[in-house]
């Protein structure tokens, strides 16, 4: 089930990123072109991340590890994992 959550996270964040970002597509993922775009996609990513963990009653750390497993290019700083004990 967590793998499906990680895929959902990736799909939802990439969909949003493609509506906001104007930078290049690198390894299949669009990149932000400036600080404003970077801020917007990070805020969205945190919102989705926390929503999925809460909805499925799993720890943020567990979800983080699964996401890293499917997204080798994405690093979610553990300092951003709100509520991790």
- 8 vs 82, higher pLDDT: 8
Task: Write the DSSP symbol of residue 29.
Answer: E
Q: Are 28 and 74 in contact (CB under 8 A)?
A: no
Q: Which two tokens stand for residue 84?
A: 């991790």
pTM score, whole prediction: 0.73
Residue 37 backbone dihedrals phi, psi, to 5 degrees = -60, -40
Kindly report, residue by residue over 5-19, the tens digit of the pLDDT: 888 998 999 999 999
Domain boundaries of the chain, sorted by first residue: 2-76
């Amino acid at each position: 089930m967590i793998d499906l959550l990680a895929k959902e996270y990736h799909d939802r964040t990439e969909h949003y990123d493609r509506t906001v970002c104007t930078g290049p597509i690198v390894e299949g993922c669009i990149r932000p072109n400036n600080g404003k775009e970077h801020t917007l996609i990070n805020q969205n990513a945190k919102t989705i991340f926390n929503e999925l963990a809460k909805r499925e009653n799993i720890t943020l750390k567990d979800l983080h590890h699964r996401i890293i497993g499917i997204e080798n290019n994405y690093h979610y700083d553990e300092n951003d994992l709100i509520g991790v004990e």
